[in-house]
Structure 1
């Protein structure tokens, strides 16, 4: 075939981009005997074959034999074939010449097959030797082939997260738009966006360079928290331990909560209200809902405003909330409950379906008097109580510490459950996009029908399934969109839709109280998610009755 001109051998440079080959395959190929010539050079020695026992030739890839390889499957993915179509074969294929003069690929089967699929007219090939060359004849050559193909496929290292982010950052610095970066590198747009976020954060760049287990999406989250070194450390440890999504969501929720609390506190101060920290049980401050004047009239925010002890702290309220067109909750004042960490009894009310109302918590002002006794207020709760709780004044220091720890556990675990619910439902949405159901689906669905068939009757689960699958839930009754989706599905897809319906029914019935009042249905549900690849948060492990790993000393103090 016709030779092509190249630069002199001494002037040739290593390409800056490679077709990264993660596998090669065995495929039957018709060997076409082609007459090939060594690639020639210009300048000194022009027209002479290369020395050193190697020839560099341009060959039609369809003429190369790819029938001898240690890999069983080429596994040609679309991105790799598209890269070959766009850029050609950047790293020459290595071949040996057979006894009958044909070329058989030794290294680069995957590049060869991709070039054929892409319709490349020629590919660069280094002819290393004759196939049967070497002492011992063909057996020795075959042993050499097996060993070298093993080494060539085993000892490969792809780009690290830090290297990928750096390449994308440099392309952006050259003025290449993110969409063009994605097209030319075959990275997804999400990966490009994440990489650009990483390159904008010195802390995230340092973390990706030091911790190679961070992927681009995780590194972008690290960049989002680069002003909070403690959060970054928690994220790195969570990535190592497989809890990244849960820790990241909890950090987002805490940041959102802090911002919302700051807004409430600033508004109170702007109105001239003294803002204090949430009072502990042994403090003098008491909330107004338990206080009255000397005549026994209960105080309100307005009636108490003239008291020198009038103040407020930012607490939490819980209740069913309406969601506006932008997905933002609007508290229903009739349903809100003044719960600053203790459980509100959400199970006493009928639970509306998703998209109508949702059980939420939000920061709100809690009105107090900082010293009721000094201002002659009556504490309506100061007399005997109907429960068996020991008054704080009668507790020992150990009992007070235990009570504080228990209350803190309730507050933290309730918040952790809310964060885990967000991660869990995002994972369910990802599951719903699959074409086929995961292994074990039929057994789980059968067990669900045997144990918990009543769950499927809940309208909330039906509407949640519609939300997970991206179809209309409808204002009343069951989702017609689900019915239409199932009618158009084949058997494999229908089994997945059945699984989503069952999982949504379980999910809709979960409660933030499940972590301390174990329910078998929730345990079965979460255990199945875990078996399907979902990483349970610590609070979800508690809901399953599983032991929670000791996180102390797990690297929380490690510098990043």
Structure 2
């Protein structure tokens, strides 16, 4: 059953009409009921005219571009709301209000309902009426639309049926229903606190209170879609890793292992040794052996998140051992006198310093992994544009000379993948065949090859120690419009705003 069958069209006029008082009538029996057309109000005729025969009066709306969804709706349901017009001296129906409906009806080859009234034919009257008719129309709010789509679903219409009945793309209907089913997301849209795009992200993380809180705070602070994209990518990866980490921790605990978290004080075994401080040969300052360290009182396990979460052995009593790489101050004695034993306050400060440094390391590594996903998606989108950036040739020249080694870097990212080529086979043959089929895309292919090289050498060390490659590549992407995240700004050699939260984007200079 179509939506149109649920709509009752009344005889609307733009002039108030006297309403007759209802008179008592005998109740008809079911077998006596017949269907008759309702009479038009006095002074108004409702007529249905073939769209090709309707004359469209001059209109203040100069653009007559038809929205595809609107046209699809007219083709399916016809013109649901009558237009308003009059008859000219030749008797033809002239439409004053409803130009777009008439144009759509012509495309759909259907009739147009017209309220024919007596209208003034002066240009001033026409312009004033058309302005009022178009300017005083209030569109549905996003909240109204969400509620309506949700009600259609409750009434039994599938996503496909709703898309068909409303002339809306199926993906749009699906996204709208996703937002409508989330109390947090729909409330944010209805109250005007979030755009539909932002609400869609809130709905995606519905059920994850911490993620929803972070996104809500970002929206309240004025984050744009670009900033939220980076935040959402990190939150997705956090959720995946959290699930994997939970399983690894559960396995360790089941095996009777002691597990430490980020807030505990510990040190990795590869940074500790049992060699005395006076052993200066680093080849003899071996890291603690995991098998022997299990007897240490500080033996514990931590779930490392470098890529796939995995258990690694650590020590929670690092002071019971020696630093494998002693600092310069520790290695050199001043005036032949050894350094004084650190106080309890100094040890506590060192513990807090290690914990703070580890928190920054973990946070920035997570942010970098999320940025990888966002950046590569953006680069792939850049390669889908009809034309390459204006200075692409200059960038390629610099990349193939100053950064020549990146051209041969291999890894997970391929030029074929960035270009969206699904053909299998040797990369060289596939790319050469593709450019033969797309002779105007040679510059795009060259960019894809160079981009893939840079992406394959891009790693977490970029934000810790920016180099010529990280600065050259990321600053070029920023110049082409890519919004660098906080951690990518570090890798690009840009000093972000100290008040900027991790993952927050800023424009590259």
For the superposition of Structure 1 and Structure 2, which TM-score range results when normalised by the shorter chain? 0.7 to 0.9
Q: What do the CA deviations read for 1:14-41 (whole angstroms, capped 9, x no partner)? A: 9xxxxxxxxxxxxxxxxxxxxxxxxxx9
Cα distance in 2, alignment partners of residues 367 and 489 from structure 1: 53
1:449 pairs with one of 396, 419, 424: 396
2:223 pairs with one of 236, 241, 258: 241
Cα distance in 2, alignment partners of residues 259 and 211 from structure 1: 33
Q: Which moved more, 1:81-90 or 1:496-505?
A: 496-505
Residue aligning to 1:73: 63
Is the CA contact (8 Å cut-off) linking 1:472 and 1:479 kept in structure 2? no
Q: Secondary structure at the match of 2:59?
A: coil
1:471 aligns with 2:421: yes
Q: Secondary structure at the match of 1:89?
A: coil
Q: Are the structure 2 counterparts of residues 298 and 535 from structure 1 closer, same or farther at C-alpha, using a change threshold of 3 Å?
A: closer
Deviation at 1:272, TM superposition (A): 0.5
Cα distance in 2, alignment partners of residues 516 and 149 from structure 1: 63
1:418 aligns with 2:416: no
Cα distance in 1, alignment partners of residues 273 and 411 from structure 2: 43
Q: Secondary structure at the match of 1:75?
A: coil
1:50 aligns with 2:32: no
Deviation at 1:271, TM superposition (A): 0.2
Is the CA contact (8 Å cut-off) linking 1:277 and 1:313 kept in structure 2? yes
Residue aligning to 2:158: 177
Residue aligning to 2:430: 481
Cα distance in 2, alignment partners of residues 366 and 50 from structure 1: 84
2:109 pairs with one of 101, 107, 119: 119
Is the CA contact (8 Å cut-off) linking 2:409 and 2:456 kept in structure 1? no
Q: Secondary structure at the match of 1:426?
A: helix
Is the CA contact (8 Å cut-off) linking 1:462 and 1:479 kept in structure 2? no
Is the CA contact (8 Å cut-off) linking 1:98 and 1:104 kept in structure 2? yes
Cα distance in 2, alignment partners of residues 95 and 524 from structure 1: 64
Cα distance in 2, alignment partners of residues 178 and 248 from structure 1: 26
Deviation at 1:407, TM superposition (A): 4.9
Q: Runs of 5+ in structure 1 lacking a partner?
A: 1-9, 15-40, 133-137, 318-360, 553-560
Deviation at 1:459, TM superposition (A): 5.7
1:89 aligns with 2:79: yes
**TM-score scaled by length of structure 1:** 0.67
Residue aligning to 1:364: 310
Q: What do the CA deviations read for 1:113-155 (whole angstroms, capped 9, x no partner)? A: 11111121x11112344351xxxxx3xxx23433443444445
1:276 aligns with 2:257: no
Q: Secondary structure at the match of 1:227?
A: coil
Residue aligning to 1:225: 205
Q: What do the CA deviations read for 1:159-197 (whole angstroms, capped 9, x no partner)? A: 444333322222221222222222222333333333333
Cα distance in 2, alignment partners of residues 497 and 155 from structure 1: 51
Q: Are the structure 2 counterparts of residues 102 and 458 from structure 1 closer, same or farther at C-alpha, using a change threshold of 3 Å?
A: farther
Cα distance in 1, alignment partners of residues 186 and 112 from structure 2: 37
Q: Which moved more, 1:263-272 or 1:95-104?
A: 95-104
CA RMSD of aligned residues (A): 4.1
Residue aligning to 1:539: 487
Q: Are the structure 2 counterparts of residues 490 and 13 from structure 1 closer, same or farther at C-alpha, using a change threshold of 3 Å?
A: farther
Cα distance in 1, alignment partners of residues 459 and 313 from structure 2: 29
Deviation at 1:85, TM superposition (A): 0.4
Q: Are the structure 2 counterparts of residues 523 and 298 from structure 1 closer, same or farther at C-alpha, using a change threshold of 3 Å?
A: closer
Residue aligning to 2:238: 254
Task: Give the aligned length.
Answer: 447
Q: Runs of 5+ in structure 2 lacking a partner?
A: 1-7, 13-34, 277-284, 333-338, 502-509
Cα distance in 2, alignment partners of residues 274 and 161 from structure 1: 52
Cα distance in 1, alignment partners of residues 273 and 182 from structure 2: 51
Cα distance in 2, alignment partners of residues 464 and 43 from structure 1: 67
Is the CA contact (8 Å cut-off) linking 2:389 and 2:480 kept in structure 1? no
Is the CA contact (8 Å cut-off) linking 1:261 and 1:363 kept in structure 2? yes
Q: What do the CA deviations read for 1:56-111 (whole angstroms, capped 9, x no partner)? A: 21111112233622333322233221111001111222234444443333222222
> 1:388-407 maps to which residues of 2 (within 5 A)?
393=342, 405=356, 407=358
Q: Secondary structure at the match of 2:323?
A: coil
Q: Are the structure 2 counterparts of residues 286 and 417 from structure 1 closer, same or farther at C-alpha, using a change threshold of 3 Å?
A: closer
1:199 pairs with one of 168, 172, 180: 180
Deviation at 1:524, TM superposition (A): 6.1
Q: What do the CA deviations read for 1:490-549 (whole angstroms, capped 9, x no partner)? A: 64x666556555554554454434445555665565556556654443333444527448
Q: Secondary structure at the match of 1:90?
A: coil
Q: Secondary structure at the match of 1:313?
A: strand
Q: Are the structure 2 counterparts of residues 233 and 70 from structure 1 closer, same or farther at C-alpha, using a change threshold of 3 Å?
A: farther
Q: Secondary structure at the match of 2:394?
A: helix
Is the CA contact (8 Å cut-off) linking 1:293 and 1:299 kept in structure 2? no
Q: Are the structure 2 counterparts of residues 388 and 529 from structure 1 closer, same or farther at C-alpha, using a change threshold of 3 Å?
A: farther
Deviation at 1:251, TM superposition (A): 1.2
Cα distance in 1, alignment partners of residues 453 and 463 from structure 2: 18
Is the CA contact (8 Å cut-off) linking 1:314 and 1:364 kept in structure 2? yes
> 1:260-299 maps to which residues of 2 (within 5 A)?
260-278=244-262, 283=265, 285-289=266-270, 290-292=272-274, 299=288
Cα distance in 2, alignment partners of residues 515 and 78 from structure 1: 46
Q: What do the CA deviations read for 1:408-441 (whole angstroms, capped 9, x no partner)? A: 434322321211221222233444445x23xxx3
Is the CA contact (8 Å cut-off) linking 2:82 and 2:112 kept in structure 1? yes
